[in-house]
Amino acid sequence: MITPIQGFSKLTKDQKIKWIAEKYTTNTQETITTLTKYWNTDATLQKLHDEFIENTISNYYLPLGIAPNFLINNKLYAIPMAIEESSVVAAASKAAKFWLGKGGFKTTVLGTEKVGQVHFMYKGDSKKLKTFFDYIKPILLKDSLHLTQNMVKRGGGVLDIELRNKTKDLADYYQLHCTFETKDAMGANFINSCLEQFAQTLKREAENYSDFTTNDEKVEVVMSILSNYVPNCIVKAEVSCPVEDLNDDKTIAPTEFAKKMIRAVNIAKVEPYRAVTHNKGIMNGIDAVVLATGNDFRAIEAGIHAYAAKNGSYTSLTHASIDKGIFKFWIEIPLALGTIGGLTGLHPLVKLALEILQKPTAKDLMQIVAVAGLAQNFAAVRSLVTTGIQQGHMKMHLMNILNQLGATDDEKNILVNHFKKNTVTHSGVISEFEKLRKN
């Protein structure tokens, strides 16, 4: 029977590994060997990785790939993507190539406003609270100057502070709704520091406010935290061309292809079951670039999916139309990204990824990431309405199956050639592999 451990965080890395191997795995030595062989041979680099998080025992590797030939606003990019799923990088690359000769991708940043809130409770007269807020608003800004002055020098800072009455949603609930500009930083630490200062000022001033004389007029701060929902930090990416130029696939007429694409997107607009998978494909491209550039893909996911449901039902993030003979395919999404701070200056591969992207600003990166998502979605929908998704995906997945089976390099070459002309299924690959072994 396994018993709880005290002081695990105080153990050395070797001691942590030995404990986890002995208590939770069936082969202690194999576990130790597996974990230690993924350590970096450069001790300084390994120490850096060890200090990113707590209780580190090893490194967990994801493949880092490149999707080339992305023409974005007439500038050519090779986009780094960190992801484990087969066919994502290939699909993005295929979409980039498809649009390369048709003008490429056009992007525009529509806003860069970030959001944070101080949540508090107040039982008194809302009009009296509004008078109090008008009084303390300049004090809130003044008290945070020591935090904001450097950001202000870079062109950012606090944009506004609003008092919001949320008592219709929850009894006695109010908030300071605060907006920020954080320039090339994602800004989480900056925003949270400002919010905590606002909360301190709010509490102090409320306790000393002469017009608050009853217990009902006591302000109780619940919490202060940024929001990962940033509906005014928006980027748009699009592709367009005359319908007759959609002639790369000789098995389908350009007009029919365009109509099929639009119908597929419209289904994702009205059917949440489809929209979730449709948008997941978009996130395949977005997450891979966000992860490669050291940004918080969990925050991006949460914010984008909230945006997809902003009108009350979950719907497609992409749009498609034909207008006067021009086919258009586009996306508008919230992306709060940074190119300074966090891991961007620490992780060697993140630094390299940003260099490959030609040292983008946060606005540049927003546009690149949006394009990756749009390209991924175009490739996926294009497959769905023509050959079907499995033909390309399973051929990319073939190598994973062969590696699981322990195929040699010669066996891989034979089977890859075989499945160039045959449908890839898991059972079919196993069957052909076993035949090959017997012969």
**Could you tell me if 221 and 242 lie in one domain?**
no
Segment 159-166 long-range contacts (CB within 8 Å, at least 24 positions apart): 159/113, 161/137, 161/198, 163/129, 163/130, 163/133, 165/126
Two tokens at 192? 């949270």
Residues with catalytic annotation? 85, 280, 296, 393
> pTM of the full predicted structure?
0.90
Two tokens at 154? 């870079």
Residues 6+ apart with CB under 8 A from 146: none
**Could you tell me if 344 and 406 lie in one domain?**
no
Where does a domain end: 163, 198, 227?
A: 227
Residues 6+ apart with CB under 8 A from 231: 307, 310, 334
In a domain, 57, yes or no: no
Determine what percent of the chain is predicted with pLDDT higher than 70: 98
Strand partners, 138: none
| CB of 227 closer than 8 Å to CB of 116 | yes
Cα angle for residues 345, 84, 332 (degrees, 5° grid): 70
**Total count of domains within the chain:** 4
Task: Give the model's pLDDT for residue 280.
Answer: 98
**Could you tell me if 41 and 154 lie in one domain?**
no
Q: Is 394 exposed, middle or buried (0-12, 13-18, 19+ CB in 10 A)?
A: buried
**Could you tell me if 280 and 315 lie in one domain?**
yes
In a domain, 55, yes or no: no
Task: Give the model's pLDDT for residue 326.
Answer: 98
- Which residues in the chain land under pLDDT 70? 388-397
Task: Give the model's pLDDT for residue 406.
Answer: 85
Task: Give the model's pLDDT for residue 155.
Answer: 96
In a domain, 27, yes or no: yes
| CB of 246 closer than 8 Å to CB of 258 | yes
Expressed as residue numbers, the domain containing 431 is: 393-438
| CB of 79 closer than 8 Å to CB of 70 | yes
Q: What is the mean pLDDT of the chain?
A: 94
